Amino acid sequence: MILRQQKKRRTKSKYGNRKTKVDGHTFDSKLEAKYYGELLLRKKAGEIKSFKLQPRYELQPTYKKDNKTVRKIEYVADFLIEYADGSIEVVDIKGHITKEFALKRKIFEFQHDLKLSVLAWDKWKGWYEV
């Protein structure tokens, strides 16, 4: 009987994204890490006052029905940016829009009076809104 050593296989992301680590922060994709780097430059230049990674927004609270607890629904954006002029923007980096995200986006925009920008990257156009 021959015993073979099995290599640990990395499970592939559902959308082919690769987790990327920058400055001790782990990003879900290389694009998020790239945008983080640009935010650092914009903050250094004084355009941005501050920014937060992975801000959470409750879309529906936990509730009980028929003696069962139904979990809350949350939307986790990629960045929350506060600009030097005091304006605030929520940014999500996407390769493409899923049905789940489209629904969460509608609920978020209904409940929160914040600008939500969904950005994608193109090597010719740069960052653009989806």
| Domain limits, the chain | 25-129
Of 70, 77, 66, which is closest to residue 107 (Cα–Cα)?
77
% the chain with pLDDT above 90: 75
Give residue 62's identity as a one-letter amino acid code.
T
Query: Residue 8 pLDDT more than 70?
Result: no
pTM: 0.81
pLDDT at residue 27, as a whole number: 83
pLDDT at residue 1, as a whole number: 45
Average pLDDT, the chain: 88
pLDDT at residue 9, as a whole number: 54
Q: Name the DSSP class of 23.
A: T
